Amino acid sequence: MAKTRNILSEKYLLMALDRVAKNAFGYSVLYLNISKLKPKNRHPEFVKIIAMLFESIIGAVRGSMFILSNGDIAILSKNISPEKIEEAVKKLRDGLAADPVLLQDGQNFARVYNFPKDFLPLYSKIESMVEEYDENAEHLPRPKEPIEADDVEKIISALDDIDMAELVKRQSILNIHNDKIEVLMQEFFVAVKDLNIYFGDNKDLLANRWLFQYLTQILDKKTLSAFSSSEIKEWPQRISLNLNLSSVFSKEFIDFAKNFLKPEQQIIVEVQVMDVLNNLKLYHEVKDILHKGGHKLLLDSLSPASLNMLNLDKLQPDMIKIFWEPLMGYDKDNATVKNAVEQLKSENTILAKCDSNDALKWGLSYGIHIFQGPLVDEIEIALIRKNCPKANKCTLVECLKRRRLLQGMFRDECAHKEILEKIL
- Taking only the tens of pLDDT, the chain with its 424 residues reads 444 444 467 888 888 888 888 788 888 888 888 887 777 666 665 666 677 667 655 554 556 788 888 888 888 888 777 777 777 766 666 665 556 665 554 456 778 888 888 888 888 888 888 777 655 555 445 556 777 788 888 888 888 877 888 889 999 999 998 889 999 999 999 887 777 766 666 677 776 777 888 888 999 999 999 898 888 899 999 999 999 999 999 999 999 999 999 999 999 999 998 889 888 899 999 999 999 999 999 999 998 888 888 889 999 999 999 999 888 887 788 999 999 999 999 999 999 999 889 999 999 999 999 999 999 999 999 999 999 998 888 888 889 888 998 888 888 888 999 999 999 8
R_g of the chain, CA atoms, integer Å = 24
d(CA 380, CA 374): 10
Asked if 376 and 355 touch (Cβ cutoff 8 Å), the reply is no
Query: Residues near 36 by Cβ (< 8 Å), separated by ≥ 6?
Result: 101, 105, 109
d(CA 215, CA 149): 10
The values of phi and psi at residue 306, to 5°, are: -70, -35
What are the residues facing 145 on neighbouring strands? 203
d(CA 296, CA 270): 9
Query: Residues near 202 by Cβ (< 8 Å), separated by ≥ 6?
Result: 142, 144, 145
Give, for 339, the enclosing helix (H) or strand (E).
Answer: helix 335-344
d(CA 256, CA 324): 31
Model confidence, pTM: 0.69
User: Which domains are delineated in the chain?
Assistant: 2-139 (3.30.70), 146-420 (3.20.20.450)
- Residue 67: strand, helix, or coil: strand
Q: CA 169 → CA 156, 190, 403, distances in Å?
A: 19, 6, 9
Residue 320 pLDDT: 98
Sign of CA dihedral 314, 319, 325, 329: positive
116: cis peptide before it, omega within 30°? yes
**Total Cβ atoms within 10 A of residue 389:** 9
d(CA 94, CA 96): 5
